Structure 1
Amino acid sequence: MFRYIVRRLLQMVLTFFGATFLLYALVFANQEDPIQALAGERPITQNVRQVLTERYHLDDPFLTQYWYYMKGLLTGDFGTSLTGRSISDMMAQAWPTTIRLALMAIIIAATVAIVAGVISGIRRGSIFDNVTLVLTLVILSLPIVVLAPLTQLIFGIKLGWFPPTTGADPGFFKLLMPALVLGSLVVATELRVTRTSVAENLRSDYVRTARAKGLSRQRVIGVHVLRNSLIPVITLIGVDIGQLMAGAIVTEQVFNIPGVGFNLFRGIRTEDGPLVVGFVSILVIIFLVVNLLVDLLYAALDPRIRYE
């Protein structure tokens, strides 16, 4: 296990440098006029052009520029946005909100998917199973750009069950509807994977052996079937982190949530290169760490899995 962790950490370092290199190149190096890309659509005076050239080392070769960027990133200095605000301060304000939203979405989606998936897998062909499959098809067919404003219109404006917008420092209730919308991105896939995994494990030899030994149905399902069925679901949850971060861009913009997605949307729209690069670099780190933790959970769920 120790060697596996060391090997994965080395892979994470290489992946991080590769991803940030591509990100930096896409945002800055491929622009015909990097200074104009930094300033967006605003006209640039000669003084402003000179200041931006010195601040972002645009007179230096590309690899030198990337070195300055990585040096600041590894020391916690993310620079300043084109609005003049410190990107580190913007992250300190945005990340707590997005973390709360993402955790709520993951917990809601995983709870619904596992409970409904287990029931559907046990009762294949029942009314509950058929209704669940139809609902998952409907959810999968609705993109987040349609579902988010539609949910806001129906449940926030028409029915008034939830606040239509959240504003600064939203609490649990204000984040509930956005979390439900964001969780819908992954709940259908997780539910179907859970259902399929449970149905396959119920037909396994170890289940028949456990029943032959006289174990109760609840113990067979709760201890043996569910534990083995959770392995692909846990894998999917780790992969879904990236999808949730992408969906947060739309969700936070629609519900006016001042989080990471909201800032990224604004940065992309205004071509604020430093802001986009800083926030996405942290997202890369989070995605790598979460996938490592998911891999390490395999051994806890199934003792037969070893990484040596």
Structure 2
Amino acid sequence: MDYGTLFIQQIINGLHVGSIYALIALGYTMVYGIVKLINFAHGDIMMVGAYVAFVMMTAFNMNIVVALIVAVIFCSLLGMTIEKVAYKPLRKAPRMWALITAIGVSFFLESAVMVLFGANPKPFPAPPSKLITIGNLQFSQLMLISLALSVVLMIALERFIKTTRLGKAMRASSEDADAAALMGISVNKTISTAFVIGSALAAIGGVLFAIAYPQIKPLMGMMPGLKAFIAAVLGGIGIIPGAMLGGFLLGLIESLTKGFLSAFWPGATLWADAILFSILILVLLIKPSGILGKNIKEKV
């Protein structure tokens, strides 16, 4: 395979994995946009979604579509429960308390899955996929379906936020929750909705990730969740288009580093994560609010 073909192949792979990062990053950015909380348990909700789909497919012989729907419903309820039980009582507390609680919820979910399923990885029953070949380029049908589903969901979410009454209420709560409450908007409802939608997207991302890398384990959400958080910050956390942009950029950078640069530099694969963090630091040094973020001045 020549370098030009290898470059295009890695672009395709990067868009695929980047779409998954973008889906997960949307959950981070929606929650942060309203309650200014970094929900570090978000990556573990993604992991739970993958395990729920695994159980549905192996124990109940469901197909991947039905298993995905069950995983979305379960994780949506889980996200709403976590918000009500763990985060809502701390809404007026210092942000550090909520952050520590989020880390605690993350450890709880990981430990619960380890107790239920064990710590060893399990093969995920990904459905068979036809390999499509165009010249020297190769990609699977599942890769195309995954990419298309991610893009459709992102566009639908953007339209939901911009055009629906509930979406507008979420935007108003994000701008000023107290003023939104005075205007008759139920801030509690908008916050719960943000957690439900974010957790649903995390579940979809978890199942798509398990299909792309057909193996699940209790700690599988840690690195994708961290990378999705980086994507949200890179694009401008709290901004939905920014999360999408950051996710795709992160996927492209990772894929090109591991697949393309390794052809010239054998050690590039080992440095892939370090390169991602270096780019994040560079972007934040130049534009701390992220690529699409706006600098906000605070009066003192």
TM-score normalized by the length of structure 2: 0.31
TM-score normalized by the length of structure 1: 0.31
Q: Which structure's CA Rg is the greater one? A: 1
